[in-house]
Amino acid sequence: MRRVVVTGLGAVTPIGNDVETFWENLLSGKSGIVPIDRFDVSDYPVRIAGQVKGYEPEKYMDKKEVRRIDLYAQYAVGAAMEALLHSGLKITEENRARVGVYIGSGIGGLQTMLENHTLLIERGPKRVSPFLVPMMISNMASGYISMMTGAMGPNLAPVSACATGTHAVGDAFKIIARGDADAMICGGAEATICDLALAGFSNMKALSTHNDHPERASRPFDRNRDGFVMGEGAGVVVLESLDAAIARNARILAEVVGYGLSADAYHLTAPEPSGRGASLAMQSALNDAGLEPTMVDYINAHGTSTDLNDKLETLAVKSVFGEHAYRFCLSSIKSMTGHLLGAAGGVEAVATVKTLLTGMVPPTINYETPDEECDLDYVPNRARHLDVKVAMSNSFGFGGHNASILLRQYTPN
């Protein structure tokens, strides 16, 4: 199996529309949770979200094309083009069959579907856009990016709820490792801050109702957490085989060394009560990498700010890492970005690579009241300097989908 490295990063998030702005705001503990201003939320029990602000898709495509792809795919394009530029990878006639795209979305073009359903009801079937289907389907971000870049290699779009982005990165890692591609543009994208999604998640009682203090609403692992906060955006990384990266003298940012995935086989939305499914994914990633638990320095936690998830992720970490769980740290950037659903794993992969590069661990903000069932070191409220050589990133999704990836500082040998 070939070694696989990270050479490019891209992000569109509620706290920055490029990687450096996103990272700077993460380390400063800035929240991107704000009152929703895209539609009237006065009748909703939840009126806050992690909205992307100031994104300009016209930087990457003309206005005509912008009108023909859903917002989630527009975010994906921005993150992918930033990652590709950052990597320095040039896609040419000679290499295009060996470069693939693997970008998923948990929900896809929900806003496009809603708008066209309204047109159907109010103005009849002839008013429905001929672009409805390609705009709303969850694979279109991956397909569109291949069209923009000319990448003709493996092209797929995983849909596994909140684990989507991590599955995309992990699967792309394996595609390169087994020799089916030399490079992959991979990650996740989501844009579901709309009335239907807000109503659905609200009625599930899954969302925080801290409407009066939105910046304090997402509080992973804190005893007073009361639900997650919806977010949106995209996170993309460029992966390459080590040989391909060296051959073109690329800057290598980190190495992907392990990938684990599992199912809870338990419930539509609730995690399995023992945390076994999450434990299986983490242990599988360690086994895949050939690493001992004591070699992990940091976990970028799923950390959604829901009662069950945070408690059971903590339990699963202790199950896998034993006493070492009390010697290392984990944190949740969802305290600042909100939960980006299918994009979360991609954005969190970007953050994990930045931690390996800079030796800075982003904090879990809004951590004020310890929970006796969440008793690990969550890097409360302030970023921490730490020489992180090996890091894990976790994602767990509705339907019991679990994924963990392991990354480490790159060394030539």
Which residues form the catalytic set?
162, 302, 339
Question: Do residues 168 and 102 make contact, with C-beta atoms less than 8 angstroms apart?
Answer: yes
CB 168 within 8 A of CB 158: yes
CB 325 within 8 A of CB 294: no
With residues binned 3-state (H G I as helix, E B as strand, rest as coil), the percentages for the chain, rounded to 5, are 40, 20, 40
Q: 258: Cβ–Cβ under 8 A, 6 or more apart, which residues?
A: 285, 286, 287, 288, 289, 290, 291, 404, 405, 406
Task: Report the C-alpha gap between 313 and 335 in whole angstroms.
Answer: 16
C-alpha to C-alpha distance for 77 and 358, rounded to whole angstroms: 26
Which candidate, 89, 65, 88, places its Cα nearest to that of 77?
A: 65
Identify the sign of the CA torsion 108, 90, 2, 301.
negative
Six token digits for residue 292: 């001992």
At residue 297, what are phi and psi to the nearest 5 degrees?
A: -100, -20
**Bridge partner list, 256:** 4, 407
The 3-state DSSP class for residue 63 equals: helix
CA distance 355 to 390: 10
Half-sphere exposure of 300 (CA within 13 A, CB side): 32
